[in-house]
Amino acid sequence: MARKSKKDKKTHLAALKRGVRRHLAHLEAIVVAGVRTTPDAIAARLQLLLDDYQRTHDAYHAWLAALAVERRHERDARDFLRGLDDILGGAVGAESPEAKAMGVGRRKTGPKTVAAKLRGAQKAAATRALRGTRPRRRR
């Protein structure tokens, strides 16, 4: 059987609380799972669980908001940090042990874009035409 979602649990607990208030409020004591308790204590315990679920929900969404802010700050600082890496790499040498200790070094280049590949092919064709050379397959 699938686990219940938090929403389903909250709905179930709220319905139980309403049912206790509506149908068991006139009783002085009830024995639940071998424990003698009152309808008010049962309702309070159900409310405690509902409050716990709500606190968890609020904390999760606060964490998501903080994570979004962190990611935005990282995105905004990306160019600054890359520039700083370049400056420090130039000051101490990109391959030096000091640079490696600071985490500065060569960056991997990303994949070529289609436009860059097209420019490269056009440039190679222009160079071949200028030099009068042909590719190996056409010789």
So what's the pLDDT on residue 1? 62
d(CA 74, CA 37): 54
So what's the pLDDT on residue 114? 97
HSE, CB side, 13 Å, CA atoms: give it for residue 24: 16
The model's pLDDT over 47-93, given as tens digits with 9 standing for 90+, comes to 999 999 999 999 999 999 999 999 999 999 999 998 998 898 888 88
- pLDDT higher than threshold 80 for residue 105: no
The model's pLDDT over 2-13, given as tens digits with 9 standing for 90+, comes to 788 888 999 999
